[in-house]
Structure 1
Amino acid sequence: MNSLILAVIGIAMVIAGYLLYGKYLGSRLYRLDPARTTPAHTQQDGVDYVPTNKYILWGHHFTSVAGAAPIVGPAVAVIWGWLPAFLWVTLGTVFFAGMHDLGALWASVRNRGQSIGALSGRYIGTHGRNLFLVVIFLLLLMVNATFAVVIAGLLVDTPTAVIPAWGAVVVALLIGQAIYRAKMSLPVVSVVGVVALYGLILLGDRFPVELPETVLGMSATSFWIVVLFLYAGIASMLPVWVLLQPRDYINGLQLFIGLGILFVSVLIASPTVVAPAMNDAVPAGTPSMVPLLFVTIACGAVSGFHGMVSSGTSSKQLNKETDAKFVGYFGAVGEGLLALGSIIAATAGYRTLADWEAVYSAFGQGGAGAFVEGGGAIVNAGLGLPASLSATILATMAVLFAATTMDTGVRLQRFVIQEAGGLVGVKVGTVVSTVIAVGVALGLSFGAGADGSGGLTIWPLFGTTNQLLAGLTLSIVAIMLLRKGRTIVPVLIPLVFLLTMTVYALIVQLGGWYSEGNWLLVVLDVIILVAAIWVIVEAISAMVSAKKAPPVDDDAEDDVVAASGG
């Protein structure tokens, strides 16, 4: 199979999905209203609620959701063959992820920018909300821990990415000042920012920063994990316009340029996909493709974390309600393209099937390393860039997007902690909630090993929990649509599929971890499984009640909610 065929078909499918299905969702299902005042205006505070240009907001949203997972997940899942991964990414992006991300953003905007956790209290009930918050807290904990470990590993394995990764923070700070303080032209700032970022990549390739074996008594990986959490904690407390928005925006541009480099290289080199379409000779110990494929590839097909970003930060910055289609659905398209690029890099970036099988010698192999190695080989063959520079570009791309997800993840974790404190009558300040968020995630990163490998230990459970939350988020969207007397078929089919696969995966994984004696994962799995089943029962009851009740006028209901604060 020629990789160019995969690229053309995949890109055409997701773009057509945005133009056709996205239009239907925005105009017919969610009925986005350009005249409706958004929470960014009604609750503007200059910190979290900030009306934002849709292109800048898309950059924030896209790079917040497009972290390491759409690279790692597909690059692991191709062990079952490239065809299942390709179909799940393309069809999932069009019919699952775009609808889910847009729906979560719409639901939050129609409820004063409230988070998915808060919305669960209104639409599912108090018990459902409390259990929902448990799932959200655990997912954010795993997101922050796993992404920190992935980034640290890339910085150690690819020291040429260190300078551009940290230099991008300075570039983002300057861009924020240029846009919001100096009121400079966005196109001019964008060009200068991208040039500066790629200048840092050239500099990093020339001057790699390789840490000694131990730093302050820690391994190099452990040191980077600690530094990353210190940075994420500080970044999460700054106003969004200072660092979060400009960093995400410029990273979004960098990602599309990086993807462009990868796909143009595919066009020129047209490498052959050496991996089998369906792998009938998977290594011993590889779990069954069903249901594990659908949780191994979460981000890139559909992801509950996207719902938290949509309702946690993006909904508070949406300038016009109609911008939601571009920010939400097209953000999912961007991540789908990243996952597609990961699949191609991990299957066509090797010379022979034997070379590929040497990398994929056991389940869990591949991941970000296969993306950087395979993608670097394709760029080297297609554009003739030096192998080191090609790897630096892709490693920097992976690091930057994982880091922006950490920024947003810690901020969202802070919101959840503050929200949980409010439920028990305890006011938790910004600094305290941030310290708690960073502390527990840092503890989990080291929880399964002194070298900081704990985050990767929980990767399988991260994927399952992520998909579970996507299904639960869709249940809230379905209840809202039922209360407004609209069809829920576009939501119901993905909802049932996701909840079935994730509960199935939780049960399968529980048996495996119990037999291995991995008690950390057993305990986390049981907690999530019990909370999930309970919330599902509550959600079904709420949907039945909403179906029986007479439909309410769309704007009238939302206006009452906004006025009452409910």
Structure 2
Amino acid sequence: MNPVLLMLLGITIFALGYFVYSRYLAKRVYQLDGGFQTPAHELEDGVDYVPTNKFILWGHHFTSVAGAAPIVGPAIAVIWGWLPAFLWVTIGTVFFAGMHDLGALWASNRNKGRSIGALSSRYIGGRGASLFLVVIFLVLLMVITAFAVVIKNLLISTPSAVIPTWGAILVALLVGFAVYRLKWPLIPVTIVAVVILYSLIVVGDSYPVVLPESFLGMSPSTVWILALFIYGGIASLLPVWVLLQPRDYINGVQLFVGLALLYSAVLIGAIFSSTPHNIVAPMFNEATPPGTPNLVPLLFVTIACGAISGFHGLVSSGTSSKQLDKEPDARFVGYFGAVGEGLLSLGTILAVVAGYRTVTDWDAVYSSFGGGGVNAFVEGGGLLMQDGIGLPASLSATVLATMAVLFAATTMDTGMRLLRFVVQEIGEAVKVKVAKFPATLIVVLVGLGLTFSQGLGGDGGLRIWPLFGTTNQLLASLTLSIIAVILIRKRRNPWPALIPLTIVFVMAFWAAIEQVSGFADPANPDWLLFALDIIIIIASVWVAVEVLLAMRKAAKDPPEPAGADEHQAAVREEV
């Protein structure tokens, strides 16, 4: 099959989702109001609450939620065949992720920028909220530690990505200063910044940085892990306009440049190449390697980001809602942020199913479950770009590896900021006030402790990663449940939230039950993961019961009284 057809079909589905379905959600379900005073204005502090241009905020939101997960998940999931992965990415983005991300952003915006964890206390009660915080803490801990390992491995395996990775920080600082202090126009600043960033990629390809086997008495793995956590801790404390916003914005722009190159390679290669790439992976793989789990339910937790992800709700309600300039901007930031991630996942699928020349080459990569991943994306995408648009293989690999590293890094530092908020919320729950510096120190120390828990090689961050898929999707279902409760209380149509909530919860809970038996396998038991999975299952069931009770109460109670914001909207309509 020609990959161009798959690419065009996917883009068309995403376009229909944004221009049709998201418009319905914005007008009929969430009823976004341009006159509503957002928390960014009401609580502006110049650090976390900062009114932000919607394009810059979209860049922050998109790159924070993207990370490496929309690359890793689809690149692994195609082992079941390209069609299941394609369908879940497209349908999941349009009807699940877009609704979830926009809904979490709207709900937080209507509640003074409070996080999903804090909202759970108001809408489902204190008992459910405490258990909700446990799930949130574990998800964020998994994200920052696992992504640190992913970045470290890429910096070692692709040393040409080192210069552009760290150089991007300086570029972001200059962009923030130019836009917010010098008040320079955004478009020329963006053009110059992207040119510099891609120049750094060319420089990095020519001058790869390989650390010596022993640097200050430490291995390269240890050095990179320490550097990443120190950077993440500092970045999470800085005002968002200094580094977080401009870094994420520039990364968002460079991602679309990278995706444009990848998609162009598919299109141009199909038209002009004498030996165009075709999809060599099977539509449905009926000969999966031994040990590969069942398609259902594992597909729905293997591909999380890129279809729907609970982590997105944490970003939407944790940082993005505090920077929303106007409420209608939530549609572009939240829903189109999900579409951007869908485009990245679609590009990943194209790279790993059409980048290899032969079925034999593809089978060699997918000889075992988990055999794909970031390296398959970099290798397959690099071959597509080399044959399609003539970029040298090494430069193509550098572009894609840098893209993966930068997104993982933005997710990591946003995750550390969010985990700091969670630590402070846990402190409030136990009546202990935790300032942001001690909270950040706790986050850094706990993250480093887990990452180095299996040695100074720093691979301990993957210790609890097998739980990420199920935990993350259970968190998504719990976030959707809060959105549904709010809609029921306001007497608005809750079905756009209830349908994906039901499907995601059933699949994630099913996967969690299957994992428990695997962790308790007498031949190869893992009692830590077994215990954590049991805790997650109990917490999820408990919260689900609390949610059902909250929905029942919301349906019986009188409609939620109109707040001042809704009253002002009604007055404007009368005028």
Determine if the alignment matches structure 1 residue 94 to structure 2 residue 94. Answer: yes
Q: Equivalent residue for 1:269?
A: 269
| Structure 2 CA distance for aligned equivalents of residues 61 and 480 of structure 1 | 23
Helix, strand or coil at the partner of 1:177: helix
| Structure 2 CA distance for aligned equivalents of residues 205 and 136 of structure 1 | 38
Q: Equivalent residue for 2:536?
A: 528
Which residue type is aligned with residue 354 of structure 2? A
In structure 2, relative to structure 1, the CA distance for the partners of 1:450 and 1:282 (3 Å cut) is: farther
| Structure 1 CA distance for aligned equivalents of residues 216 and 131 of structure 2 | 40
In structure 2, relative to structure 1, the CA distance for the partners of 1:323 and 1:22 (3 Å cut) is: same
Q: Equivalent residue for 1:537?
A: 545
Q: Deviation digits for residues 150-209 of structure 1, max 9, x if unmatched?
A: 111111110000000000000000000000110001011100100010010000001000
Q: Equivalent residue for 2:144?
A: 144
| Structure 1 CA distance for aligned equivalents of residues 426 and 566 of structure 2 | 24
Residue 448 of structure 1, CA deviation: 4.0
Which residue type is aligned with residue 124 of structure 1? I
Mapped contact 2:382–2:396 kept (Cα < 8 A): yes
Q: Deviation digits for residues 78-122 of structure 1, max 9, x if unmatched?
A: 111111000000000000000000000000000000000000000
Helix, strand or coil at the partner of 2:242: coil
| Structure 2 CA distance for aligned equivalents of residues 547 and 218 of structure 1 | 60
Q: Equivalent residue for 2:306?
A: 300
In structure 2, relative to structure 1, the CA distance for the partners of 1:559 and 1:520 (3 Å cut) is: farther
Q: CA RMSD in A?
A: 1.3
Q: Equivalent residue for 1:548?
A: 556
| Structure 2 CA distance for aligned equivalents of residues 100 and 5 of structure 1 | 28
Q: Equivalent residue for 2:44?
A: 44
| Structure 1 CA distance for aligned equivalents of residues 242 and 47 of structure 2 | 9
Residue 454 of structure 1, CA deviation: 2.1
Residue 559 of structure 1, CA deviation: 8.2
Q: Deviation digits for residues 204-236 of structure 1, max 9, x if unmatched?
A: 001000122333444322321121111000100
Q: Deviation digits for residues 444-489 of structure 1, max 9, x if unmatched?
A: 2233454222223433311111111110000000000000011111
Mapped contact 1:296–1:460 kept (Cα < 8 A): no
Q: Equivalent residue for 1:488?
A: 494
1:17-416 counterparts in 2 under 5 A?
17-270=17-270, 271-416=277-422
Determine if the alignment matches structure 1 residue 4 to structure 2 residue 7. Answer: no
In structure 2, relative to structure 1, the CA distance for the partners of 1:54 and 1:557 (3 Å cut) is: closer
| Structure 1 CA distance for aligned equivalents of residues 460 and 528 of structure 2 | 10
Helix, strand or coil at the partner of 2:367: coil
| Structure 2 CA distance for aligned equivalents of residues 517 and 446 of structure 1 | 21
Q: Deviation digits for residues 413-457 of structure 1, max 9, x if unmatched?
A: 000001110111111111111111111122222334542222234
| Structure 1 CA distance for aligned equivalents of residues 553 and 447 of structure 2 | 38
| Structure 2 CA distance for aligned equivalents of residues 6 and 293 of structure 1 | 19
Mapped contact 1:233–1:434 kept (Cα < 8 A): yes
Which residue type is aligned with residue 307 of structure 1? G
| Structure 2 CA distance for aligned equivalents of residues 376 and 421 of structure 1 | 47
Mapped contact 2:221–2:456 kept (Cα < 8 A): no
| Structure 2 CA distance for aligned equivalents of residues 107 and 67 of structure 1 | 24
Q: Equivalent residue for 1:503?
A: 509
In structure 2, relative to structure 1, the CA distance for the partners of 1:557 and 1:183 (3 Å cut) is: closer
Residue 556 of structure 1, CA deviation: 4.9
Residue 558 of structure 1, CA deviation: 7.2
Helix, strand or coil at the partner of 1:301: coil
| Structure 2 CA distance for aligned equivalents of residues 95 and 458 of structure 1 | 29
| Structure 1 CA distance for aligned equivalents of residues 450 and 298 of structure 2 | 23
Residue 380 of structure 1, CA deviation: 0.4
| Structure 2 CA distance for aligned equivalents of residues 531 and 403 of structure 1 | 30
| Structure 2 CA distance for aligned equivalents of residues 217 and 339 of structure 1 | 40
Mapped contact 2:128–2:543 kept (Cα < 8 A): yes
TM-score, normalised to structure 2's length?
Answer: 0.96
| Structure 1 CA distance for aligned equivalents of residues 505 and 566 of structure 2 | 28
| Structure 2 CA distance for aligned equivalents of residues 445 and 75 of structure 1 | 24
Mapped contact 1:75–1:342 kept (Cα < 8 A): yes
Which residue type is aligned with residue 518 of structure 1? D
Q: Deviation digits for residues 246-279 of structure 1, max 9, x if unmatched?
A: 0000001000000000000010113211110111
Which residue type is aligned with residue 18 of structure 2? Y
Helix, strand or coil at the partner of 1:33: coil
Mapped contact 1:110–1:558 kept (Cα < 8 A): no
| Structure 2 CA distance for aligned equivalents of residues 398 and 329 of structure 1 | 22
| Structure 1 CA distance for aligned equivalents of residues 215 and 166 of structure 2 | 18
TM-score, normalised to structure 1's length?
Answer: 0.97
In structure 1, stretches of 5+ residues that fail to align are 561-566
Helix, strand or coil at the partner of 2:189: helix
| Structure 1 CA distance for aligned equivalents of residues 445 and 557 of structure 2 | 45
| Structure 2 CA distance for aligned equivalents of residues 292 and 450 of structure 1 | 32
| Structure 2 CA distance for aligned equivalents of residues 163 and 550 of structure 1 | 59
Of the three residues 451, 472, 490, the one matched with 2:457 is: 451
Mapped contact 2:36–2:565 kept (Cα < 8 A): no
Q: Equivalent residue for 2:571?
A: none
Which residue type is aligned with residue 113 of structure 2? G
Identity of aligned residues (%): 65
In structure 2, relative to structure 1, the CA distance for the partners of 1:559 and 1:167 (3 Å cut) is: farther
| Structure 2 CA distance for aligned equivalents of residues 90 and 457 of structure 1 | 30
Q: Equivalent residue for 1:564?
A: none
| Structure 1 CA distance for aligned equivalents of residues 38 and 364 of structure 2 | 53
Which residue type is aligned with residue 529 of structure 1? I
Q: Equivalent residue for 1:563?
A: none
In structure 2, relative to structure 1, the CA distance for the partners of 1:506 and 1:20 (3 Å cut) is: same
Q: Equivalent residue for 2:273?
A: none
Q: Deviation digits for residues 119-150 of structure 1, max 9, x if unmatched?
A: 00000000011000000000000000111111
Helix, strand or coil at the partner of 2:520: helix
Helix, strand or coil at the partner of 1:45: coil
Which residue type is aligned with residue 462 of structure 1? F
| Structure 1 CA distance for aligned equivalents of residues 208 and 22 of structure 2 | 43
| Structure 2 CA distance for aligned equivalents of residues 557 and 328 of structure 1 | 21
| Structure 2 CA distance for aligned equivalents of residues 467 and 554 of structure 1 | 32
The ranges of structure 1 where at least 4 consecutive aligned residues each deviate by more than 6 angstroms after the TM superposition are 557-560
Helix, strand or coil at the partner of 1:214: coil
Of the three residues 431, 443, 463, the one matched with 2:469 is: 463
| Structure 2 CA distance for aligned equivalents of residues 433 and 96 of structure 1 | 33
